[in-house]
Amino acid sequence: MANPLFDALFGRHQGSDAVFLHLADGVQITHAQFLATTARFANQLTDLGIGPGDRVAAQIAKSRQALSLYAACVQAGIVFLPLNTAYTADEVSYFVGNSGAKLLICDGKDAEALGPVATETGAALESLNADGSGSFPYKAAYQRDSFDTVPRRCDDLAAFLYTSGTTGRSKGAMLTQDNLLSNAEVLVREWRFTDADVLLHALPIFHTHGLFVATNVCLLAGASMIFLPKFDTDAMIAQMPKATTMMGVPTFYTRLLDDPRFTSELTRHMRLFVSGSAPLLAETHVQFENRTGHRILERYGMTETNMNTSNPYDGERRAGTVGFPLPGVELKITDPATGNSLPDGEIGQIEVRGPNVFKGYWQMPEKTAEELRSDGFFITGDLGQIDADGYVHIVGRNKDLIISGGYNIYPKEIELLLDEEPGVLESAVIGVPHPDFGETPVGVIVPDGATAPDLDAIKASIGKSLARFKHPQKLLLVEELPRNTMGKVQKNQLRERYGDLFAKAPQG
Ligand code: MCA
Ligand code: AMP
């Protein structure tokens, strides 16, 4: 029996001396070298007693070894659970505990802070550092560089990605081999990836965009990647002439456009720029085309569904839209109250069905049933409409979510912490426009009247348990929150009131 995901992404490259990764320091890694490390890691995981279906959580820096850990999990049939490096020990503790991960791999610098997490959850703890050193690769170095790939079925789990919820509790989205493989296959075809492509990769590899879209597509097409540790404008500009494609969140594009060195000459060899994870302003789309002559291809996806829609490769890439449903993906716009389909042109909730749609939330059957209908349609929580030409427009969200620089922030999680703070009666966290991150969280607090809230102390206190990117950029005091007649907080009124807190200073 085969392992469809491993065979398609990695197995096909066994023994190949073609370059897979161009690292920032100029070192090139061939597929054969990459797969030798992968096999050693797979042997080491097996020696640690971790087998098919077990979860391995990893909070590690982006490196070729981190990518080999992903590949090793796929090869050994282990469920890979990557974690944002910004998460605090409190956050990691929840993910490891909830997933029942048998092993937590972290950066050596975090081993002391995460030691108690491992003890509490019963997970083993190993380290893998940004430079590829650490206890895990040290032990793996003594392992064989070949591994008998563990057979898997298409609907076996390949990965868990945690996504926050409106209740403030994160949910583990269970992604199968076929969810990942079918989506990568469609994207390779739709975006015309070949082994001649070189992708400029500056995204983190703990989310769908950087791992399952960018990396899986390149592996499947036999393309190589310029693998940068993170987004850095200077490095992007230095590497761009060697690349043919780039994928990024809108912040990548606005940051590049802010730099006068980013010119049409610099992008002359590029054939494709893809944007997603957050709305790309039509203004950015137009500015990009004026500067470079390239039209950014915007697509739309979710952790639970991988990619759902894409603007066309050939044909008009329409600014402010996310294009058409991908082949194999059904998309409908429904009335949130009844679930019935709405005619084209009307605004409603976006629902999708297809091989890309996840299996459900780990050990949360009620949550799964709320969002994943029995007929297979997933309720995305995004509001959209389909125009007369069939292009999908995302016009808003039916879920209380803030997207900052491509990272999702669920207000509830912050509100629950704020409400616990001394002097706070209640709070509302809203997303307001931000010139660099698109949106950023702001906390609006109603004092309890007994003790005056100390905003600096509150910031410091909630900061201990929240990842840096979730920290409200401002805390404001108000006498009361606006509510409708049902008593529901009117966040849109707050967003209007505070919408220009971070407005860019007028030019000239
Ligand atoms: C870093 N910081 C942030 C963010 N990133 N704050 C808010 N939002 C962020 N996204 C904090 C840092 O901790 C630091 O805090 C301060 O901002 C300045 O850091 P800076 O160096 O400017 O940031 P950076 O390291 O350059 O990161 C910005 C970034 C990065 C390049 C936009 O966030 C990024 O790579 N985002 C991509 C996220 C992504 O891949 N999303 C895909 C999710 P301080 O200085 O105070 O310590 S997958 C998905 O959404 C779906 C499925 C889809 O459709 O793709
Ligand atoms: P995630 O938790 O990373 O799965 O976030 C998925 C959410 O990101 C979607 O439900 C959308 O709200 C948003 N998103 C992704 N791509 C786009 C896009 N191109 N335009 C607007 N929103 C997007």
HSE, CB side, 13 Å, CA atoms: give it for residue 304: 25
- Asked whether residue 329 falls in the same domain as residue 229, the answer is yes
- Asked whether residue 387 falls in the same domain as residue 274, the answer is yes
Please state the pTM of the whole predicted model: 0.96
- Asked whether residue 119 falls in the same domain as residue 131, the answer is yes
- Asked whether residue 120 falls in the same domain as residue 219, the answer is no
The CATH number that applies at residue 87 is: 3.40.50.980
Let me know if residue 506 belongs to a domain: no
Please state, in angstroms and as integers, the Cα–Cα distance from residue 142 to each residue in 36, 40, 131, 182, 269, following that order.
Answer: 12, 8, 18, 35, 42
Q: Is-contact 250 278, C-beta < 8 A? A: yes
Let me know if residue 165 belongs to a domain: no
- Would the CB of 231 count as within 6 Å of ligand 1? yes
Distance CA 250, CA 148 (A): 41
- Asked whether residue 456 falls in the same domain as residue 469, the answer is yes
Let me know if residue 358 belongs to a domain: yes
Let me know if residue 193 belongs to a domain: no
Please say which residue of 364, 397, 430 terminates a domain.
397
Rg of the chain, C-alpha, whole Å: 23
- Asked whether residue 362 falls in the same domain as residue 477, the answer is no
Which residue range forms the structural domain that includes residue 244? 198-397
Q: What is the pLDDT of residue 508?
A: 39
Let me know if residue 406 belongs to a domain: yes
The CATH number that applies at residue 471 is: 3.30.300.30
- Asked whether residue 303 falls in the same domain as residue 423, the answer is no
Pocket probe mutation, ligand 2, options 277, 285, 401, max atoms within 8 Å of Cβ: 277
The residue whose CA is least distant from atom 15 of ligand 2 is: 277
The CATH number that applies at residue 338 is: 3.40.50.12780
- Asked whether residue 226 falls in the same domain as residue 341, the answer is yes
Please say which residue of 397, 415, 430 terminates a domain.
397
Residue 47: count other Cβ atoms within 10 Å of its Cβ. Answer: 12
Distance CA 82, CA 95 (A): 10
Question: In the 8-state DSSP scheme, what is residue 11?
Answer: G
Let me know if residue 19 belongs to a domain: no
- Asked whether residue 83 falls in the same domain as residue 126, the answer is yes
The residue whose CA is least distant from atom 11 of ligand 1 is: 469
- Asked whether residue 388 falls in the same domain as residue 415, the answer is no
- Would the CB of 468 count as within 6 Å of ligand 1? yes
Distance CA 54, CA 482 (A): 47
- Asked whether residue 47 falls in the same domain as residue 89, the answer is yes
- Domain total of the chain: 3
Let me know if residue 508 belongs to a domain: no
Let me know if residue 162 belongs to a domain: no
The residue whose CA is least distant from atom 23 of ligand 1 is: 231
What's the CA-to-centroid distance between 188 and ligand 1, angstroms? 26
Residue-level pLDDT, tens digit, the chain, 508 residues: 799 999 999 999 999 999 999 999 999 999 999 999 999 999 999 999 999 999 999 999 999 999 999 999 999 999 999 999 999 999 999 999 999 999 999 999 999 999 999 999 999 999 999 999 999 999 999 999 999 999 999 999 999 999 976 666 799 999 999 999 999 999 999 999 999 999 999 999 999 999 999 999 999 999 999 999 999 999 999 999 999 999 999 999 999 999 999 999 999 999 999 999 999 999 999 999 999 999 999 999 999 999 999 999 999 999 999 999 999 999 999 999 999 999 999 999 999 999 999 999 999 999 999 999 999 999 999 999 999 999 999 999 998 999 999 999 999 999 999 999 999 999 999 999 999 999 999 999 999 999 999 999 999 999 999 999 999 999 999 999 999 988 899 999 999 999 999 987 554 3
Q: Minimal CA–CA distance to 463: which of 85, 84, 88, 117?
A: 88
Distance CA 30, CA 97 (A): 36
- Asked whether residue 50 falls in the same domain as residue 67, the answer is yes
What's the CA-to-centroid distance between 337 and ligand 2, angstroms? 22
Q: Minimal CA–CA distance to 184: which of 150, 208, 149?
A: 208
Distance CA 5, CA 251 (A): 31
